[in-house]
Amino acid sequence: MNGSTPIKDRRSELAFAPKELSTEVLLELFDAARWAASSYNEQPWRFYYAKREAPEAFISVLNLLAEGNRVWAKDASALIVSAAKKELHRTGKQNFYAMHDVGMATANLMIRAAELGLVTHPMGGFDHELMHETLMMDDTEYPVAVIAVGYKGNVAALPPELQKRLNAPRVRSSIESFTFDVNDL
């Protein structure tokens, strides 16, 4: 179970190189997202993106991030806002699995990014209400996260506290701490 894989090697990057990301590569990430499993095959995810080569759009999303995230996210190639459809298309009832399904699509996107040599960093630190308004989401959608995507940058160019955070060991809970054999309950 040891060894390098895109899942094990992925980490939330803080040092991005301010380079453009081609539309083809971005579409490849979205293609990976669309193959995620979803309840009733509803595919309740929506992805709004702003590429750095469209500065007005990029800055409008960047400015909705928490201040601490703006410091490093400003160098990402793209900022992708994931959103969830609140209602099931087939019935109009609440989709209780939307967040789960959006998370699965986002994981696919991030793993594919790692396979392509890109780095990512998902964030919850942003103004949800203003994001909803700025992106003109309808009332059946809500923003879930913002994912910075791009190319690995120079860690030495980060402020010292971010360098320390990025260079800290990656700690994960043990499998035993979050798994429970129902037979033992």
Task: Report the number of distinct structural domains present in the chain.
Answer: 1
Give the Cα separation of 136 and 121 in Å (integer).
24
Q: pLDDT, tens digit, for every residue of 49-94?
A: 999 999 999 999 999 999 999 999 999 999 999 999 999 998 999 9
Task: Look at residue 182 and tell me if it is in a domain.
Answer: no
Task: Look at residue 150 and tell me if it is in a domain.
Answer: yes
Task: Look at residue 13 and tell me if it is in a domain.
Answer: yes
Contact 75, 45 (CB under 8 A): no
Kindly give the pairing relationship between strand 119-123 and strand 45-51.
unpaired
Task: Look at residue 174 and tell me if it is in a domain.
Answer: no
Residue 6 pLDDT > 80: no
């309808």: which residue's tokens?
138
Task: Look at residue 60 and tell me if it is in a domain.
Answer: yes
Q: pLDDT, tens digit, for every residue of 83-96?
A: 999 999 989 999 99
Task: Look at residue 129 and tell me if it is in a domain.
Answer: yes
* Residue 90: CATH number of its domain: 3.40.109.10
Domain that holds residue 129: 6-167
Task: Look at residue 1 and tell me if it is in a domain.
Answer: no
Q: Residue-wise over 3-28: b if at least 16 C-beta within 10 A, else e?
A: eeeeeeebeebbbbeeeebeeebbeb
